[in-house]
Structure 1
């Protein structure tokens, strides 16, 4: 659109309300006071409304739209706290069944709508991105023209500009300014004003940097949002679990099989009920109260390109006692102590018994089953063979009345064994089938000549560790720091300007502050003290009084 040239010679963008240079009103507007918001400059969102880019820009530049995006974001975030997110489900639980079993119909609906992974969902990410776009466009739409207007402002401002400032007065004593110029300038400097002069005009200005506070604030928020969005990428942020049984070595998730951790020992310390400080509270506790728990662990690194697991050649890096709030740190990763489980079933020992077997033969038919990684077949020297047909680590009967497992944690193990004796022909190709578990021993296909008896149980303590890597933390810290700088910058300092201009034997005095007008009035009082120059009048108060009088008059007239 065509630019507008002011009588002072400055060319202003289309839609400018006050000339960026001299301040002359270019658009007539009702009211006695000038609209000094953004210095009366033209904003792109208020002037260009033709193509699709303009419409998108105008939509996101609206403060109301930004507020609604924040409201929607807050509501969505609140929904994600109704039930626990999938990452916080108990160990071994499946989201498919957990929400329905624990919370009924609402839990199932919560899962089906995808709220169990809300903060990583595409639509939540889209809301965050929309907020970021709104912040960027809102800032650019305002800060660029504001910076241009403040940079190009002249000292000698137009008379109409000064007349329409909130603090303004006109004096006939123009000689008083020449008489007290040095005094006024010295007092302005005492108040830390920077002074510019052009002929008979003076501009005193301080704290212009405070005008950029909200936009510095926005930069911090944008950085914070970028850091939050980067957490969707595994290379930037990792928050996972690893469970390690005592005496075992597990690969650390997220390290691509490069690092391993061995649980050397797990310790739990409980509060003593005779504790002089907490004894009374402990007596009323239903369960023992844990004082501290730790994992004595050893960190290993794969030294060769061998296979991951037991076949890998591991190099010991360091040993460390992992406690709550005292993680094991290495290569940007941190292992936090967050959970534990005592006396988890680890191994069953079985023996094959039969009437035709002597005690010595039965002893030779003893075998062990690792409940976390069971061997599926066992062969003995005397010709006996045992196979595991089905293994259910956490046995249950589903809705179809079929046996299944809730998860892979051996909390309620059931094993279907098939025994083949050397002198017994299988019936229809099947050996003797038995369902074995804790206090469970059932024959599944008729009478058996042999019985599998559980003779021993081994249990183990398990530690739960959070594996965390956060490369977004510096971005979040930088965003938060910049946000606080902008907040302080815009809250504790205020942009103030004082204009004094002599023209045609008259003295024009005006002042403007973006906030805290009382402080500007006090500055005028200090600067003009002991001079014959009058202090400017607050025209906003006068306008309010006039409107009040007009309202009273209208009411009386109606009466």
Structure 2
């Protein structure tokens, strides 16, 4: 598209409404308007100029203020839906049981809420796309309007055409006796009022508070930084909110923290003395607990170590993690959240003859965390574990099933080999029920001989590297709010002809009262002609016209 050539000879980009040099209106609408639109100083705005190619349409869509407001409303409504029920990160239940938790606690609504993904709303792909679209809208709108405005304000001229001056809201015209003295007095007074004054021959431009025009765009920058921090939470390493169960004596890698390991040395539970003992031994956190803590050791792998290798860990420190007293290390923290008492650690069985019961061929000790496949008892006797289900929940198609990986209800399918039964006998053993013998009656059986218990601690690992980003974005946003709310951009144009004719115009983006107050001061001091507010005048004309029409109807 061709540039627009003004009557002054200046070539303006297509879409410009006011000449960049003299300020003449370049559109028919501008020529017929009594007060010109100075929102962007008449510069060409891309979204209001081009609308032909696909790129133009995409640009115009995201730069549309209505689209931006709609995205903000949709994002706020979506985020509010995520507050109806607790998010998964705040649900104190093992990962496989969280779906059951919502259904059990909140009924059908909780089940539907979880099924739709609303229980993990802020990490869903569609919510992140929504946040991304909002960020794109803010960026495009800022570039679309902010850059042309900055260019216009930076290159504005002192001398302006009379048609530009007379189409400002504040206009004054008259005669003065001494043009040079008048210009000097205006410059002096406006400088005292903290205006930046420029002169070009017999023309003067006084300007104050230009930075106030950048307030909304500073808001946009703050929002973009804030939304970037929100989206970075999906990037591995920036944000971690995980839970982990660690049994006493166990060493495990800390989720999300490469190279860090933690060992549960001992769990300590302090109880209120005035509570019944049977109430105090309930599983999990309850009101009976006075204090519970876990003594841990924090380790770190040396550089170059194989991931998961725990043989050559470097000890960092010992610490007692209590409620509200987390273990903090570098950029993450471990919080004591829950505990589980008396979890099965080891089960012991004797291989006995069913007829005599007391004649044991040997005892096996099964580590329920990592059981062996076979146990050799000597004298030609051994026991093999064919199937191990930590939390037996029943049979499905003839195969035993486990509900969780926690040894709440261990069950075993044993093969027992003795000198009398070299081919072996099979027995399914569940503690709460008599053993099953699927291949016929056995001569030998596995007799329960005891168990060892231990406690488990539940920790939440939290790391949030996005907090500084969110904080910076919030601070920048508030700076933009303050600038846009408490400062305004004021300008005064004054041109004095050699014959003493004075033409004055003024503009302010908001708070016209402050501009008029400064004008009253300078006109009194420099002896300038009185000014008028063309919008107030036009409003008075409309009111008088309506009044006359009302009188005529009477």
Shorter-chain TM-score category? 0.7 to 0.9
Q: TM-score, normalised by structure 2?
A: 0.86
Distance (whole Å) between structure 2 residues aligned to residue 541 and residue 261 of structure 1 = 74
Q: Deviations over 1:148-207 (max 9, x none)?
A: 21122112222222222222222x332376555554433322321111112222211111
Match for residue 151 of structure 2 among 148, 156, 161: 148
Corresponding residue number in structure 2 for 1:395: 392
Match for residue 411 of structure 2 among 412, 415, 423: 415
Q: Deviations over 1:462-503 (max 9, x none)?
A: 222233444444433333332233222222221111222224
Alignment coverage as a number of residue pairs: 540
2:382 maps to 1:380? no
Distance (whole Å) between structure 1 residues aligned to residue 57 and residue 551 of structure 2 = 49
Q: Tell me the SS of whatever aligns to 2:40.
A: helix
Corresponding residue number in structure 1 for 2:278: none
Does the CA contact (< 8 Å) of 1:22 and 1:153 recur in 2?
no
Match for residue 217 of structure 2 among 215, 218, 225: 215
Match for residue 55 of structure 1 among 43, 54, 57: 57
Distance (whole Å) between structure 1 residues aligned to residue 357 and residue 289 of structure 2 = 49
How far has the Cα of 1:127 moved from its partner?
1.8
Does the CA contact (< 8 Å) of 2:183 and 2:204 recur in 1?
no
How far has the Cα of 1:216 moved from its partner?
1.9
Does the CA contact (< 8 Å) of 2:194 and 2:208 recur in 1?
yes
Q: Deviations over 1:50-93 (max 9, x none)?
A: 11111111111111111112222223333444444444551242
Q: TM-score, normalised by structure 1?
A: 0.85
Corresponding residue number in structure 2 for 1:15: 15
Q: Tell me the SS of whatever aligns to 2:316.
A: strand
Structure 1 spans left out of the alignment, 5+ residues: 275-285
Q: Deviations over 1:412-460 (max 9, x none)?
A: 313134352625448xx762524323x4444444665555443433332
Match for residue 550 of structure 1 among 532, 545, 548: 545
Q: Tell me the SS of whatever aligns to 2:229.
A: helix
Q: Tell me the SS of whatever aligns to 1:197.
A: strand
Distance (whole Å) between structure 2 residues aligned to residue 103 and residue 543 of structure 1 = 62
How far has the Cα of 1:26 moved from its partner?
1.7
CA RMSD of aligned residues (A): 3.3
Does the CA contact (< 8 Å) of 1:341 and 1:462 recur in 2?
yes
Distance (whole Å) between structure 1 residues aligned to residue 378 and residue 307 of structure 2 = 33
Corresponding residue number in structure 1 for 2:264: 263
Distance (whole Å) between structure 1 residues aligned to residue 273 and residue 541 of structure 2 = 78
Q: Deviations over 1:216-259 (max 9, x none)?
A: 22122222222322322214333323322222111222344x33
| 1:130–1:307 Cα change, 3 Å | closer
Distance (whole Å) between structure 1 residues aligned to residue 350 and residue 309 of structure 2 = 28
Corresponding residue number in structure 2 for 1:339: 338
| 1:227–1:501 Cα change, 3 Å | same
Match for residue 478 of structure 1 among 462, 472, 478: 472
Q: Tell me the SS of whatever aligns to 1:48.
A: coil
Distance (whole Å) between structure 1 residues aligned to residue 418 and residue 328 of structure 2 = 56
Does the CA contact (< 8 Å) of 2:176 and 2:182 recur in 1?
no
Does the CA contact (< 8 Å) of 2:417 and 2:424 recur in 1?
no
Distance (whole Å) between structure 2 residues aligned to residue 390 and residue 87 of structure 1 = 34
2:294 maps to 1:295? yes
Aligned residue runs from structure 1 range 17-32, under 5 A: 17-29=17-29, 30-32=32-34
Does the CA contact (< 8 Å) of 1:391 and 1:413 recur in 2?
no
2:532 maps to 1:537? yes
Aligned residue runs from structure 1 range 120-269, under 5 A: 120-170=123-173, 172-175=174-177, 178-179=180-181, 181-256=183-258, 258-269=259-270
Structure 2 spans left out of the alignment, 5+ residues: 276-284
Aligned residue runs from structure 1 range 460-499, under 5 A: 460-499=454-493
Does the CA contact (< 8 Å) of 1:93 and 1:406 recur in 2?
no
How far has the Cα of 1:45 moved from its partner?
0.9
2:401 maps to 1:404? yes
Q: Deviations over 1:267-325 (max 9, x none)?
A: 44567879xxxxxxxxxxx9426565443221223348676657622222222333455
Does the CA contact (< 8 Å) of 1:16 and 1:40 recur in 2?
yes
Distance (whole Å) between structure 1 residues aligned to residue 159 and residue 98 of structure 2 = 71
| 1:408–1:35 Cα change, 3 Å | same
Does the CA contact (< 8 Å) of 1:92 and 1:409 recur in 2?
no
Distance (whole Å) between structure 2 residues aligned to residue 133 and residue 62 of structure 1 = 11
Q: Deviations over 1:500-534 (max 9, x none)?
A: 22245432232211112222222223333455435
2:344 maps to 1:350? no
